Structure 1
Amino acid sequence: MAALILIDVQRGFSDAEYWGPRNNPGAEANIKALLDAWQQRRLPVVLVHHDSVHADSPLRPGQPGNDFLAELDGARPDLVFGKKVNSAFLGDVDLDAWLKTHGITDFVLAGIQTNFCCETTARMGGNLGYDVTFALDATFTFDLPALDGTTVTAEELSRVTAANLHNRFATVRSTKEILG
């Protein structure tokens, strides 16, 4: 039984002024397609939200940006919890214990940001022995400044995440491949 784990699909990531340029404008539609398929099949769904401890973050608890995006409206998750770090395995709930208690040995991962919370959760899941499928086109990220003063684009960061994960910590697939 495969669970769907959706990481940090929150309104605060829509703040382009705060985050800067992003990639993959189709990510939210792919997240919604995965969620709809999982709910239709009555498979386990886990929603994780980032509860930032930074005063200026749109992801702070109690702020509108901490709420889930509209694509998750109507979701009937089996588990919802917050985290303050990149990995969902280090959140307010012991995700590893919850998955094991429910007999879940594999999961599909999607959400925001590709190269931070999604990649970190995939790596830890792989290290813990889970069969992780990373839905690359159901994630997105933002440009980052490089140490040399140049910019690493969101698209390049996504490409590197896929290279880091595939056949090491996870299997990287498209939403179409996962749902097909």
Structure 2
Amino acid sequence: MEITQNAALVVVDVQKGFEESEFWGPRNNPAADENIASLLAAWQDTGRPIVFVRHDSVTPGSPLRTGYEGNDFKDYVEERRGKGSGPELLVTKSVNSAFYGTPDLDYWLKAAGITQVVLTGIQTNMCVETTAHMGGNLGYDVLVALDATHTFDLTGPNGWHLTADELARASAVSLHGGGFARVVTTDALVGAARS
């Protein structure tokens, strides 16, 4: 795997509000935070650009609403902000895709000549997947570190229920099989970034 010297790590919605399990329900991948931290360290140690994305929910009662502690980044993410030698951007959004946030992510990436984007964060099948779909549509080489994401069980129409693991696998198949992104592991990304 080849990681460009200016590949951007896009850290999606790693916020304290996602730790409120009574709101979200069962989650998958307890190793996600450790893997996100590994990617942040690798990107900062090698001077690559990092985009921190924060979901500012406009839904009353959401654990991610502005002005509530759940809107804050998890401590291990907040502690890393501003510590790398590469460029850094904070994007805030109120919808699923980081490409519909402020400031304009697509503009920032293109202005910096960045063509490769690595996605990590929460939730796998929501904001990470939507951002990956749009990134692929916009022509970026998108890589998704599936083991550095997590999601929650979900019930849809007709009483259909999928576990967080099932949703993550469905996202991986949709993104990778559909040609929107390459689904990869944290270890592979860290190894490529540090080589």
Task: With the length of structure 2 as denominator, give the TM-score of the two structures.
Answer: 0.90
Preserved CA contact (<8 Å) 1:31 1:71: no
Structure 1 position 84 matched with structure 2 position 90: no
Verify: 1:161 aligned to 2:171, yes or no: yes
Cα-Cα RMSD: 1.0
Match of residue 21 from structure 1: 26
**Cα distance in 1, alignment partners of residues 120 and 127 from structure 2:** 10
Instruction: Give the whole-Å Cα distance in 2 for the aligned partners of 1:14 and 1:67.
Output: 11
Three-state SS of the structure 2 residue aligned to 1:165 is helix
User: 2: CA distance between counterparts of 1:55 and 1:103?
Assistant: 38
Deviation at 1:70, TM superposition (A): 1.5
Q: Show structure 2 runs of 5+ residues with no match.
A: 1-5
Give the TM-score, by structure 1 length: 0.97
Identify unmatched segments of 5+ residues in structure 1.
none
Aligned residues: 180
Which residue in the other structure is 2:10 paired with? 5
* Structure 1 consecutive aligned stretches of length 4 or more whose deviation exceeds 4 Å: none
Q: Would you say 1:42 and 2:47 are equivalent positions?
A: yes
- Match in the other structure for 2:127: 117
Q: Deviations over 1:118-155 (max 9, x none)?
A: 00000000000000000000000000013222421000
Structure 1 residue 173 corresponds to structure 2 residue 184: yes
Matched residue SS, 1:125: helix
- What is the alpha-carbon distance in structure 2 between the residues aligned to residue 20 and residue 80 of structure 1? 28
Q: Does 1:60 align with 2:78?
A: no
